[in-house]
Amino acid sequence: DQVVVATHYPLLDRSLFFARLEPVRSYCIAARINGEAPRGMSISAGGTTRSVRSHDEQLIVGGEGHATGARDATPERFERLEQFARDHWDVAEVTHRWSAQDPVSWDHLPVVGRYHPRSERLFVASGFHKWGLSTAGFAARIISDLIGGRDNPWAERFNPSRFGVRGVPKLAQMNAKVALDFF
């Protein structure tokens, strides 16, 4: 039997994922707009990140990401998203506001593969950097190929054990920031 741990943060943390994944918070608003809501999903390129999509004729705008626990987690983040929506669409009413946390790896690539280098039956998929809808499919393919004994050209690139000496400074910086924000 094989087990795939495809959770937000990996459970059974034998591989110390808590120290290799940084929790990042982002914000969203939903708004009723006059006119037709945009179709599809889009994200800004360069500058301040904004993602836009729709659901049931409502506009959804996301962005304002920051490390969880940062002191600048303020209500103004929602206000900036609302202003962006009003600048680009005829907003009748903002109906919902929420935030989410997502784990991000030290190198900003998902961790997908064997839970531990010697694991034969335990696999992990996490660290999707807020892109779970688009990365879950390829993560499933990589893990399916590993379980089935098939080669996958992407398996090594997303291997949870890819952390090497080059990643030590980033990992130390990431964990030091968490400690400083705590105090």
When pLDDT is cut at 50, 70 and 90, the band that residue 168 belongs to is low
Higher pLDDT, 42 or 180: 42
Question: Are both 89 and 114 inside the same structural domain?
Answer: no
pTM of the model: 0.77
Mean pLDDT of 56-64: 94
Q: How many domains does the chain have?
A: 2
Residue that terminates a domain, selected from 102, 118, 153: 102
Residue that terminates a domain, selected from 79, 102, 125: 102
Question: Are both 33 and 87 inside the same structural domain?
Answer: yes
pLDDT tens-place string over residues 107-149 = 889 999 998 888 899 999 999 987 787 889 999 999 999 999 9
What is the model's pLDDT at position 173?
A: 72
Question: Are both 114 and 177 inside the same structural domain?
Answer: yes
Task: For residue 167, give the 3-state DSSP assignment.
Answer: helix
When pLDDT is cut at 50, 70 and 90, the band that residue 60 belongs to is very high
Spatial distance between the Cα atoms of 183 and 171, rounded to a whole number of angstroms: 19
Task: For residue 27, give the 3-state DSSP assignment.
Answer: strand
Task: Tell me if 102 sits within 8 A of 24, measured CB to CB.
Answer: yes
Domain that holds residue 139: 3-20+106-182
